[in-house]
Amino acid sequence: MIDSREESSCYAVRRLNPFRGVVQVVRTAETRAISLDGSHWEIQIQAQKPDDLWGGVSPGNTAIQFLRFGTWSPNDGLRRVPAHPLLDLTSMFHQAEILIALLEESQQDLPFLLRDRFELWLLDGTNRMPLALLASAIELDKQPQRPAIGRWHCADRSSKDFSSPHTDETHPPHPKDTDPHPHMSALERLIQTESGHTLAQWFERDSSGGGRGLPLAGNESLNDRQLPAGAFPELLLRQVWQAEWDSTLVDDYLNWLAPYLLTLQEISDQTRGKLEQHARGRAMLINDNWTLYPKIIDRAAIDAARVEVRIRQSC
C-alpha cells in the first residue's frame, strides 16, 4: 500500500442536470471522501470487492472499485458501515486514518476550487450558442464525438415543486390541467423548443471565463471556436428571452434555485447579492449549503436564515 499525502488533492465539482450545488472531494491515490455540505463526508476506499463470501476462487478478475467504508464529520468522527468479512480491514482502517487526517487539515480551505472546467452545453437552435449546462467534467477525451444528449432537467420531480407565481398571474392554470408539475414542465418545454434539434457541445473553459469549443462530429464548423465569457450564461441557463412570459418563468426558476446557485464561484457580486435575497425563502437549503458559499454579500440575511432553521428545529 502506498501511503503518500503528496498524491492528495482537494477540489469541487458541480452537481448537474438538475443543478444541485457543488460536491467537495478529498482524494489520495487509493481513497476519497465526498461531501455535499462540507460537514458530513462519505469515506470510500479503493479495493477489490470479494464476490464469494466463502472464499472460493473467483470465476474472473474482479475490478478494483471504490467501496463505501464509512462516514466522518468533525462532530461525530468516523462511523464505519458493515464491511465484507474478506476485505483487508486493517489496511482499510489505516487508509481511512490518513484520509481523515487530510479532511481535518482541509476544513479551513472549504469550499474547494471547482475543477470541472470541461462543460457540455445544450446549444440554442438558432445561433448555436450556449443555452443550458448539461454536464461537466475534470478530464475529457479530446477525440471528435457527438455527445449522447438527454433532456435538460430543471429539478428532481421528487423534490419540493418549483412554482412560478408570476406565471400563474398572467397564465392561470386550466381547471382540467392534470400535470402535477406544470411550471417544471413548462420550463423544460421552453428549453427543449429553444434548442431546436437538441445539439450540444463540449467547451474547455479558461481562466478568463471564455471557452473553446471541442471537436463535434458532424458539425465541424463549430470546432475550436472561441467564445467570450459573456457567451456562457452566468447562472447556467440563458436569462435573456424575447417573450416576457418566458423571461418571467426563467427568472422565477433561478430565484427558486438561489440557495444552490450561491455555491457557484464565478458570479458577480451584484448577482450574488440578488440571489441572497431570493434565497431567504428557502432557509433550510441555505443552512445546508452556506459553508460552501465562496463569498457572502449580506451576512445578516444568511445568518437570519440559519437562525430561522435553528428555531424550527428546536420546536
Q: Which residues of the chain have pLDDT under 70?
A: 1-6, 49-62, 83-88, 142-149, 158-160, 166-178
Residue 315 to residue 309: CA distance in whole angstroms: 10
Judge contact between 78 and 72, C-beta under 8 A: yes
Q: For residue range 138-165, what is the model confidence (pLDDT) as tens digits? A: 998 755 566 666 789 999 876 667 878 7
Please tell me the predicted confidence (pLDDT) of residue 80: 81
Please tell me the predicted confidence (pLDDT) of residue 2: 41
Task: Compute the chain's Rg from CA coordinates.
Answer: 22
Residue 12 to residue 35: CA distance in whole angstroms: 9
What residues have CB less than 8 Å from 217, skipping those under 6 apart?
144, 145, 146
What residues have CB less than 8 Å from 263, skipping those under 6 apart?
21, 22, 111, 289, 292, 293, 294
* Distance separating the N- and C-terminal Cα atoms of the chain: 50
Residue 90 to residue 111: CA distance in whole angstroms: 32
| Structure letter (DSSP) for residue 196 | T
The full set of domain ranges for the chain reads 5-54+61-109, 117-238, 257-315
Residue 111 to residue 129: CA distance in whole angstroms: 30
pTM: 0.88
Q: What share of the chain is helix, strand, coil (3-state, %, to 5)?
A: 35, 20, 45
Cell representation of residue 284: 433550510
The DSSP code sequence of 32-69 is: EEEESSSSSEEEEEEEE--S-TT-PPPSSPPPEEEEEE
Please tell me the predicted confidence (pLDDT) of residue 90: 80
